[in-house]
Amino acid sequence: MNHAIIAPTAPQALLAVNDIEVMYDDAILAVAGVSLQVGQGDIVALLGANGAGKSTTLKAISGLVQADRAQVSRGHIRFQEQDTTGVAAHVLARRGIVHVLEGRHVFAHLTVEENLRSGGFLRNPTRRELEHDLERIYAWFPRLRHKRRAQAGVTSGGEQQMLAIGRALMTKPRLMLLDEPSMGLAPIIVEEIFAIVAQLNAQERMSFLVAEQNINIALRHASYAYIMESGRVVGEGAAAELARRDDIQHFYLGGKAG
C-alpha cells in the first residue's frame, strides 16, 4: 500500500500560502517560494534555525511585514477562501488572524489584567462580554488569574508568554500564529504552554501555525510540519514521520534534545 504523506488540507484550507516572496526595503529578499497550508483545526509547525525566515513568513500572513518596511512581492496568501495578500494587520485581526510575536511582547507597565483587556477592545465588546472573556482566559491560564493585579513587566518569562497568548485569545481568533513560544523558557514551562495550545486546539478547534526552533516539542504537538532554511521550505511532512527522522534532528537543529 502506498503511504504517501498528504498535506493537512485540500482545497478548503483555512490558510493557504502560495509561493510567496518577501522583500525588506525593496532590496533584501528574505523569503522565496514559500508555500504552506493550515487546515481548520490543525496545529502546523514551521521549523528552522535562526534567520531561516520563519518570523518573516508569519508576518507576511498576519500583515505585520508592512510595519517592518517589507512586502509580499510575489505569490498569494488566502485565508478563509479570500485573498489576503498585502491586507493590513488590523483588518486581518478582525477577520480572525492573531499573531503572537517572538519575544513575549506585553505592556510592561500595565497590569496583567489591563494587558488582557487591551486584547478585547478590538471587538468592541460590552462590559459583560469583556468580563466573560477575561474569565475564559483565566480558566485557561490560572497563573494569570493569580497575577492579575501584578505589573506585567515584573512577572516571569513564562507568565509573560502566557499573557501574550491570553491577550491574543481575547481577540477570539480562528488562526493563531505563534512565533517561538518556547524561546528562553524552562522546559517545564514550555510543556505547560504547549499543553494549553493542544487543549485550545482540541476543545475550541482553534488552528495554530507555530514557528519553532525547538523541534521536539513542536513535532510532538503538531500534526504536520514545514522545515525552512535560508528563506525557503526545504522539507515537509506529517509531524510523526519527521520526528522519526534523525537527519532532520541532527542537520537542522544540532542533535536530539530532551
Strand ranges of the sheet holding 97-100, from the earlier edge strand across to the other edge? 97-100, 175-179, 207-212, 43-47, 224-229, 232-238
* CA 216 from centre of chain: 16
Q: Of residues 28-57, which lie at the interface with ligand ATP (CB under 6 A)? A: 28, 30, 48, 50-56
* Least gap, CB of 15 to ligand ATP (angstroms): 18
251: helix, strand or coil: helix
Q: C-alpha cell of 137? A: 482566559
Stretch that binds ligand ATP, among 4-12, 23-31, 125-133, 142-150 (CB under 6 A): 23-31
* Least gap, CB of 198 to ligand ATP (angstroms): 23
Residue 177's H or E segment, with its range, is strand 175-179
* Least gap, CB of 22 to ligand ATP (angstroms): 8
Q: How many degrees, rounded to 5, is the angle at CA 191 between CA 188 and CA 193? A: 115
Nearer to ligand ATP, 49 or 196 (CB): 49
* Least gap, CB of 75 to ligand ATP (angstroms): 16
* Number of residues forming the site for ligand ATP (CB under 6 A): 13
Nearer to ligand ATP, 9 or 182 (CB): 182
Write the CA distances from 71 to 92, 102, 125, integer angstroms.
15, 19, 32
Q: C-alpha cell of 142? A: 490560572
**Cell 516571569 found at:** 156
Q: Does 24 bind ligand ATP (CB under 6 A)?
A: yes
Nearer to ligand ATP, 21 or 68 (CB): 68
Measured distance CA(230)–CA(8) in Å, rounded? 24
190: helix, strand or coil: helix
Among 21, 68, 192, 204, binds ligand ATP (CB under 6 A): 68
* Least gap, CB of 193 to ligand ATP (angstroms): 17
Binding mask 93-122 for ligand ATP (x = CB under 6 A): ---------x--------------------
Nearer to ligand ATP, 138 or 226 (CB): 226
Q: Does 234 bind ligand ATP (CB under 6 A)?
A: no
- H-only helix segments in 69-156: 89-95, 112-120, 127-140, 142-146
Q: Of residues 200-229, which lie at the interface with ligand ATP (CB under 6 A)? A: none
Pick from 193, 30, 168, 26: nearest CA to 96 = 168
Summarize as ranges the residues that interact with ligand ATP (CB under 6 A).
Answer: 24, 28, 30, 48, 50-56, 68, 102
